[in-house]
Amino acid sequence: MNEATNARLQGDEAAWYAVTAEEAAKRLGVNAQSGLGIPEATERLQRYGPNRLPEAGKQSLLMKFLGQFNNILVYVLLGAGFVKLMLGLWIDASIILGVVVINALLGFVQEGKAEKALDSIRNMLSAEARTLRASETRMIASDQLVPGDVVLLESGDKVPADLRLIDVKNLRMEEAALTGESVPSDKSVTPVAANATVGDRHSMAYSGTLVVSGRGTGLVVATGSETELGRINQMLAAVSSLETPLLRQIKKFGYAITAVIFVIGALVFAYGRWVEGLPFVEIFQAVVGIAVSLIPESLPAIITITLAIGVQRMAQRNAIIRRLPAVETLGSVSRICSDKTGTLTLMEMMVVSAVTAETTYQVEGDVYAPDGRVLRDGAPARQDPVLDLMGRYTRSRPRSASSGRHSRRLIDASTRFPSSPSTALWRR
């Protein structure tokens, strides 16, 4: 990926919202009526790279495992264990080193489980975009979008990249994920002032925002890390991780007990060697024994097991904890103040049950996709007059005023979004 070229195209021309739609198309070198040609789109994909946010470099399994030993108490235990080995005290050394290894394995396994869960969520978030290429409307993976692509938007769509709108019809966008404003924003193709804030750029549709109603067409002007969402991602990546109170206390305790062990050990060694005249090996073994007795060998394992239990309890409530110490911090939280839409909910209405005069039905499916099942007492439901009536009613409702070319295709070309999300959730 030529990041310098990508930044030059998407950075120097940052004021896309301040120029006309015609000027934007001219700068991008694209005919808005036909879109990019296939060869040109392929060449731009090679030049600018895929439309995805860069992932942080992943550590190898070995480095992740070794990272579990990065603890002052573990350092002290390892030192004591190796000294025991050198003195030939195999049983004591095995117990100490066994505690250290078990502690590391518990943390390693839990971190691996959390990362797998997070990876599965990232895979679920993959999306497609409806684009106009070579005068044909086609669905492509959103990471294949390039600057200059013509993207078609309809109600319920998530914007796949930063777009300069060139045609809108009653288009309203929910931009809470980007601006924090829960009220949908009305969009237009009219240029705005060059110093307009993100929330006031009504001629733009930004990656990650949602189409609430209407339809529109836009030109891709920024992809990947050059989008507004990508810039936020870069700022978050630059934030240094903070130690939890528990880790700070453990580190402080580890330093304190290490200092105490060294002081006591030095005093005992000096007294036994130069006052009592004891042999070096004998007094050294005594000092090591005192040091090991002062070390709480089971403390790291107890802490890890306790935190792991907390992680499992959180997992049963569908909360993913990536790192064990986060459980302690989360346990001190009494209230979480959060915006509902887009955080606690997905802003995607879905029927999960239907109640008639005779019985209750359970409805399965995935948001707007029309491939769910209707169950009664866990088994596929038989024909029901009320459900049939509801189905005929929703199918008779007027569909979106958009043309067939702009209709959203979920399973096949005949499946379209209706004019209202509340109607769409019944048409599944």
Q: Which residues are catalytic?
A: 339
- 52 touches 197 (CB < 8 A): no
- Dihedral (C-alpha) 402, 406, 408, 413: value to the nearest 10 degrees? 110
Token reading at 413: 């070309």
Query: Which one, of 116, 111, 117, lies nearest residue 64 by Cα?
Result: 111
81: Cβ contacts below 8 Å, ≥ 6 apart: 93, 96, 97, 100
CA angle, 126 then 129 then 134, to 5°: 140
Beta strands in 299-355 (DSSP E): 353-355
* Location of structure tokens 């040109």: 40
The DSSP code sequence of 258-273 is: HHHHHHHHHHHHHIII
User: Quick count: other Cβ atoms within 10 Å of Cβ 82?
Assistant: 13
Query: CA–CA separation, 110 vs 119, rounded Å?
Result: 14
- 370 touches 350 (CB < 8 A): no
- Which is it for strands 374-376 and 360-363: parallel, antiparallel or unpaired? antiparallel
- 286 touches 88 (CB < 8 A): no
Q: For 152, phi and psi rounded to 5 degrees?
A: -105, 130
Query: Which one, of 378, 305, 288, lies nearest residue 109 by Cα?
Result: 305
How long a stretch of residues is the chain?
428
Displacement of CA 379 from its chain's centroid (Å): 35
- 171 touches 215 (CB < 8 A): yes
Query: Which one, of 124, 119, 122, 110, lies nearest residue 321 by Cα?
Result: 110
